[in-house]
Amino acid sequence: MTISRKADGYYITLSLEDKSVPALTTKVEPTLKNTLGIDMGLKEFLVTSEGESVPIPQYYRKSQQRLKTLQKRLSRKKKGSKRRLKAVKTVAKQHKKIADQRKDFHFKTANELLLKAEVIAHENLNIKGLAKTRLSKSINDAGWGNFLTILTVKAENAGQKTIAVNPKNTSQDCSNCGEKVKKELNIRTHSCPHCGVVIDRDLNAAINIKNRAVGHSVLKARGARRNTGAGKREAHIVAPA
């Protein structure tokens, strides 16, 4: 609001921003070229379909360890004592520190990903039952929900896109030939007896996630490979067995 004085009196100028008017949205269609798949791991924060990994920062792990220590100390303080009150404050401060660090890390990671690709594909975390599966621990520890919210909002603001895909068998299916290769959680390498591809387990999942977002079905993938000989490009990334 601005007030201006003119010869014949005072004028008030109001400018309003209407939040109900939708921002310009670009229609981005996911393709093999513009889409990056991310697999949320137990080991790494995420691994991309290009084979890059984003680790959970060391400072974050340290802060969490410190929190545990502080909580233990608090539990030993006598109820109603001044020392206890002080310990409560220290714990609260540490909680805040961790929350800030996590948010900061999520923002940075989201920005970096959105510089790499127009569309980011990830597993749908809202699918019922997932909380009890392999991801439950990392969802809680790494704040996956928070991160994906930040990523999605940032993507939309930039005219980009995130796509949530069905997480079923993303780590079991072969990203190269589509055959199911069963493996336990401790098996870190995807080694396919059907097509011979040997890649990191999380990378295999990230490629599957990308392919799902693009609508690149197994049959389509097979057809494409037969026709062009493509599809082996990731095979050079071999994880240590």
- Let me know: does 213 contact 33? Beta carbons within 8 Å: no
Helix (H, G, I), strand (E, B) or coil at 168: coil
DSSP 107-141: HHHHHHHHHH-SEEEEE-TTSTTGGGSTTHHHHHH
Q: Indicate which residue of 118, 123, 173, 200 is catalytic.
A: 123
Q: Which residues bind Zn ion (CB under 5 A)?
A: 174, 176-177, 192, 194-195
> 125 or 177: whose CB is closer to Zn ion?
177
Residue 39 annotated in active site: yes
Residue 141 annotated in active site: no
Residue 123 annotated in active site: yes
- Let me know: does 45 contact 142? Beta carbons within 8 Å: yes
> 167 or 178: whose CB is closer to Zn ion?
178
> 150 or 195: whose CB is closer to Zn ion?
195
Q: Which amino acid is located at 130 in the chain? A: L
Dihedral sign for Cα 56, 111, 31, 165, please: positive
- The residues annotated as belonging to the active site are 39, 123, 202
